[in-house]
Structure 1
Amino acid sequence: MQAVGLEERVVEFARLLRENGIRCTVAESIDAALAASLVGTEDLERLKQALRAALAKDPGRHRLFDYLFDVYWRGAWTAIQVPGRRVAVKVEVEAGSPVERFLSIYSPVDASWGEPGVDLPSPSQARALYRSLVLLRRRLGLEEGRRRVPRRRGMIDFRRSMRRSLRTFGETVRLARSSRKRSKTDILVLLDVSNSMKDYWPWILGILNSLRRLPPGSYEAFLFSTRLVRATPLVEAAGGAEDLRRFVSRVEGLWGSGTRISQSVEELLENYGPTLHRGAAALVFSDGWDLGDLRQLEAALAELRRRVGFLVWVTPESPRRDAGGEPSTMRVIRRQAHLTIDLETLLNTRKLLRLLPRLTG
């Protein structure tokens, strides 16, 4: 790599850091370019340490710096790929052919079809997505908060009992009871980016962009097709919608591949167990097309349902079951998911509100 090209990349990387909240001056950028010219790009770990020393003086920003470095210098797919070698095959077939339809549903190899070079949803659609996510967090109160609310049944509340006794001149006529209010919910989002979902990639980017507005630590995001990728670091590192689209577009061998729902869920259960708990609501956005073993899928979804507090499955459209428009996997999904809705229902907060159970106190 030529020195001029390396200097330009360092300047562009410094601009990316500033856009995401890491302050670095022109002098620090010059020091970083000099350090990069001395270290080179053969050993990216040494380059990361050199650039971190020059551009990220605040230790509290080192984690964000590492995410941005991996996204920019290594490529997002290298930074967050699962262990093991994988084969990515570029497939060119005639549009609308049976082969294309088969590979869009399932493929024994990672049939990569491209990157999500699509537009984000409109501002009104983005607001609807965000309102729906907020509604899910508020309505599905799965974790106990610090506040206590009066209950007919529950633990004896001595403080309220003493206050109530003042009305009867110190005589405790009836004991007050209360319990902790359920008011907190973590959102776990699994988004299908296979080729059969290609028409809905803008909505997937919109969901990821809406997660950025939620409090940090209250969500986890995953992308899946023939494998599973944790996208939370990309969402946290993005400074805006365009950054997010650029980051997720670099996840190679994932967008437009086949679909392996059961294997992806099993990978989630095995490798990301701490993100699964009874205080989390899992939201899966997928059309359910998968030609894998139905028993394996049902077992994986049953375990996912057992570990989380609530499982919502969102389909792109409402299929006509009487016309054979629903895949056989959807029957398994409907048995295991607490709630199965389409995208239109997700965007309609009034309709969604009627369907969601009220678990909060």
Structure 2
Amino acid sequence: MIAFGGYLRSKQYLVGIDETANALMSINYIDIGNFDQLIQMMQICFARSKDQWKDVLTHYQDFAKEYQKGLNTKVVDESEIPKRNPPAQVKRYQLEDIKKWLYNRKDKDTIETPFYSPYNSDEVAFFRLEEEDLVELGFWIRKMLQKLAVDRRRKKEKNKVRGDLDLRQLLRSRFLKGDELVQLYFRYPKKQKSKMVFLCDVSKSMDLYSHFITALVHRLPKIFDYSAIYYFNTELYEVQDQEDIQEVAGLWAGGTRIGHCFSQWLNHLPAWFDKKTKILIYSDGWDTGDLELLNESMYAMQKMSHKIIWLNPVITKVQDFEVAGMSIAKEHVDILATVYNLRTLKDFIRGL
């Protein structure tokens, strides 16, 4: 089962330690000799979309053939092996051996873990990022928030550096001073105070993206003039201080009632919330609650806010919109993008 999990990771499946452990524990509850039960168990533990659900059977059959082929190559008839006594060889110490002795290093077996990835860090999912990659993740999240915070209106203010040339002020200054033109005047769109509400899905299916969520939550209040952060799964939780941010680890469980949580939030809006506020949602769209309530809540949010931005970590194909929740939400959002690794995050930032 562990080897098959590694095989699925090579096929771009998001199989981690938790999924492998769940599959191993599930073996105790099925008839291991029943092939249909075995396949269904692996589909439940490893698949994250309809396409992956269908492909698990094919991948398992291919894996079984390769595994059996590998075993057959190791089986050798001992009677066919000629017996010979190899001459004694004097060990020649290489430079690497001397380094190991000098620095007191010992050979260690390399054990594959579910977090190993041979791909470029831009292509690696958030949950597989190494510690040094988290610094880059924080940098690009800050870039994203800075772009979202910029909101230029039609009203303009005087500027001596950039913007459209202000002919009125230029002529006025010329008549008043009577000098040659030594200073140009411009008019630039006035910057509005930025407002953002972040609604974050913390159900069990979103556990893999905790690195991205934590980094975003820490940086959002530093970028926006007004901001509010909420976690939701089956209920809504408001984040008010650093202690609430740290407690997110205890919320990764259960399903998701998106419509119910959004309805709760609409009944307790921040005092500063107005038509200029942007709403950022990070969720996979799996909703186990009332879909009609979700439709009503999203419609109200669209009318009351400046813009709704929905980032989904699992949408890769058109079929993914059939997920309960996304089929309704996509009708009410202004921007819908897939963000699950550094590459998709950079693509989203470039498109803003």
User: Aligned residue for 1:201?
Assistant: 210
CA contact (8 A) 1:132 1:346 kept: no
Matches within 5 A, 1:154-193: 159=169, 162-163=172-173, 165=175, 178=187, 180-182=189-191, 184-193=193-202
Q: Per the alignment, in what secondary structure is the counterpart of residue 200 of structure 2?
A: strand
Alpha-carbon offset, residue 271 of structure 1:
0.8
User: Aligned residue for 1:318?
Assistant: 315
**For 1:330 and 1:135, how far apart are their aligned partners in 2?**
23
**For 2:308 and 2:156, how far apart are their aligned partners in 1?**
25
Greater Rg by CA? 2
More relative contact order, 1 or 2 (CA 8 Å, 6+ apart):
1
**Deviations 1:129-185 (CA, angstroms, capped at 9, x unpaired):** 4433443433553376994468879xx996555225569989xxxxx9956423542
Cα 1:169–1:204, aligned 2, differ >3 Å: closer, same or farther? closer
CA contact (8 A) 1:345 1:352 kept: no
**Counterpart pick for 2:271 among 266, 271, 274:** 274
CA contact (8 A) 2:278 2:305 kept: yes
Q: For this pair of structures, how many residues does the alignment match?
A: 229
- Structure 1 residue 128 and structure 2 residue 124: aligned? no
CA contact (8 A) 2:281 2:309 kept: yes
Alpha-carbon offset, residue 256 of structure 1:
0.8
Cα 1:177–1:196, aligned 2, differ >3 Å: closer, same or farther? same
CA contact (8 A) 2:200 2:230 kept: yes
**For 1:135 and 1:183, how far apart are their aligned partners in 2?**
18
User: Aligned residue for 1:47?
Assistant: none
Cα 1:353–1:151, aligned 2, differ >3 Å: closer, same or farther? same
**For 1:148 and 1:135, how far apart are their aligned partners in 2?**
28
Cα 1:348–1:157, aligned 2, differ >3 Å: closer, same or farther? farther
**For 1:132 and 1:192, how far apart are their aligned partners in 2?**
17
- Structure 1 residue 210 and structure 2 residue 207: aligned? no
TM-score calculated relative to the size of structure 2: 0.52
**For 1:272 and 1:296, how far apart are their aligned partners in 2?**
17
**Counterpart pick for 1:141 among 150, 156, 159:** 150
User: Aligned residue for 2:248?
Assistant: 248
**For 1:211 and 1:148, how far apart are their aligned partners in 2?**
29
- Structure 1 residue 234 and structure 2 residue 241: aligned? yes
Alpha-carbon offset, residue 186 of structure 1:
2.5
**For 1:284 and 1:230, how far apart are their aligned partners in 2?**
14
Alpha-carbon offset, residue 274 of structure 1:
2.4
Gaps of 5+ in 2: 1-24, 31-39, 49-126
Q: Which AA in structure 1 matches 2:241?
A: L
Alpha-carbon offset, residue 224 of structure 1:
0.3
Alpha-carbon offset, residue 314 of structure 1:
0.8
CA contact (8 A) 1:282 1:308 kept: yes
CA contact (8 A) 2:199 2:279 kept: yes
Cα 1:130–1:331, aligned 2, differ >3 Å: closer, same or farther? farther
User: Aligned residue for 2:329?
Assistant: 333
Matches within 5 A, 1:1-361: 122-142=131-151, 147-148=157-158, 159=169, 162-163=172-173, 165=175, 178=187, 180-182=189-191, 184-211=193-220, 214-215=222-223, 217-231=225-239, 233-235=240-242, 244-245=245-246, 247-249=247-249, 254-322=251-319, 326-344=322-340, 348=344, 350-356=346-352
**For 2:327 and 2:172, how far apart are their aligned partners in 1?**
54
Alpha-carbon offset, residue 203 of structure 1:
2.6
**For 1:140 and 1:178, how far apart are their aligned partners in 2?**
21
CA contact (8 A) 1:121 1:202 kept: no
**Deviations 1:241-272 (CA, angstroms, capped at 9, x unpaired):** xxx53x4345xxx4312201111111111112
**For 1:279 and 1:258, how far apart are their aligned partners in 2?**
32
Q: Identity over the aligned pairs, expressed in percent? A: 19
User: Aligned residue for 2:116?
Assistant: none
CA contact (8 A) 1:120 1:203 kept: no
**Deviations 1:1-42 (CA, angstroms, capped at 9, x unpaired):** xxxxxxxxxxxxxxxxxxxxxxxxxxxxxxxxxxxxxxxxxx
**For 1:345 and 1:163, how far apart are their aligned partners in 2?**
53
Gaps of 5+ in 1: 1-91, 105-117, 171-175, 239-243, 357-361
TM-score calculated relative to the size of structure 1: 0.51
